[in-house]
Amino acid sequence: MIQYPIPWPNGARCACAITFDMDADSLIHISRPKDSHNRLYPISMGQYGPMVAVPRILETYRRFGLKQSFFVPGWCIERYPGAVEAMLEGGHEVGHHGYLHEDPTAHSHDEQVDWFDRALAAHRQVGNTPRGYRAPVYNITQGVTDLLLERGFAYDSSLMGDDIPYLLDTAAGSLVEVPVHWGTDDWPPFAHYDEIGYLMPVKSPSSGLAAFFEEFEAHYEAGGFWHCIWHPFLTGRLARWRQVETWLESILESRDVWFATLGEIADHVRSISEAGEGTVRRDSLPYYTEPPSVTAGRRGNG
């Protein structure tokens, strides 16, 4: 079922990564800059992430001995340094996730460079040098991939081109792509955020989590890569996280899995590719240099 299977370390049957994007209240500020500071409910909903959910998640990881990846906008690092320092102290990875969760497709390249570097500076402020990137709302552009290579990044995690990691070749070099997927993102089942234009029905914890657990079974059977894209203020809520924790415990006890940070996974994929131990899929950028023609004009005499 998987065209370019990757042999995982120590013969593990399936690689696994839970990634948390800790956006906190950046979302309301970027969406409603005029009065977001006076919208206390969305702020508090976002702050639940760094203040309540992240300590809970880190405690679970500590108990299970897991090191996982977080993606945090630069502004959130400045605003909630304690949460980010706790991630780093716990041995987890903290990746680049923009400055204020700004959508790269909504800005010029110069603006984007500025946001990007401002975020990098925030990471460095807490002693972190991110090696991986996830675009806010997944909206990575060609310009950002170039920037990632210029800034020495090892991997991106914003695209949906495959089930398992692959290489992304560009003129300027090569990145590992650790792909995402809407079926393992927790916004569709759990987010309800009218203020930023995202109104989904909220699933019960068990019915919302069912999708993730079914995805695991399929990847485990196929020797693939189970990758969740979660958010502390959503899946880190008490009832949902308790079900995750119970499930995680049973998986760790009964299955042969390799839980790792995306950085470790990217490094593994890179080394497999370089050692020629497997055929890692390669994709090339740019996909396009200009928009496909969408005019229904008659061609020639046609």
Which parts of 51-70 interact with a second copy (CB under 8 A)? 51-52, 55-56
d(CA 279, CA 277): 7
Q: Does 298 bind a second copy (CB under 8 A)?
A: yes
d(CA 276, CA 287): 26
Smallest distance, Å, CB 227 to a second copy? 11
**Based on CB atoms, which residue is closest to a second copy, 95 or 224?**
224
Q: Does 278 bind a second copy (CB under 8 A)?
A: no
Q: Does 13 bind a second copy (CB under 8 A)?
A: no
**Based on CB atoms, which residue is closest to a second copy, 150 or 271?**
150
Which residues 6+ apart lie within 8 Å of 265 measured at CB? 15, 17, 165, 176, 178, 225
Q: Does 173 bind a second copy (CB under 8 A)?
A: no
- Which residues between 248 and 277 bind a second copy (CB under 8 A)? none
- Which residues between 111 and 170 bind a second copy (CB under 8 A)? 111-112, 114-115, 117-118, 121, 135, 138-143, 145, 158-163
Of 16-24, 80-88, 209-217, 261-269, which part binds a second copy (CB under 8 A)?
Answer: 209-217
Which residue type sits at 222? A
Q: Does 89 bind a second copy (CB under 8 A)?
A: no
d(CA 21, CA 290): 31
Of 27-35, 61-69, 147-155, 270-278, which part binds a second copy (CB under 8 A)?
Answer: 27-35
Q: State residue 69 phi and psi, 5-degree precision.
A: -105, 145
d(CA 6, CA 223): 8
Which residue type sits at 61? Y
Which residue type sits at 123? H
- Binding residue (CB under 8 A) for a second copy from 88, 126, 196, 210: 210
Q: Does 279 bind a second copy (CB under 8 A)?
A: no
Q: How many residues does the chain have?
A: 302
Which residue type sits at 277? E
Of 146-154, 193-201, 253-261, 267-275, which part binds a second copy (CB under 8 A)?
Answer: 193-201
d(CA 67, CA 15): 13
Q: Does 237 bind a second copy (CB under 8 A)?
A: yes
**Based on CB atoms, which residue is closest to a second copy, 232 or 275?**
232
- Binding residue (CB under 8 A) for a second copy from 15, 24, 45, 280: 45
Determine the straight-line distance between the first and last CA of the chain, rounded to whole angstroms: 43
CA distances from 169 to 49, 140, 181, 285 (A): 35, 15, 21, 6
Q: Does 231 bind a second copy (CB under 8 A)?
A: no
**Based on CB atoms, which residue is closest to a second copy, 111 or 249?**
111
Which residue type sits at 35? D
- Binding residue (CB under 8 A) for a second copy from 214, 249, 256, 277: 214
Q: Give just the sign of the alpha carbon dihedral 197, 79, 237, 91.
A: positive
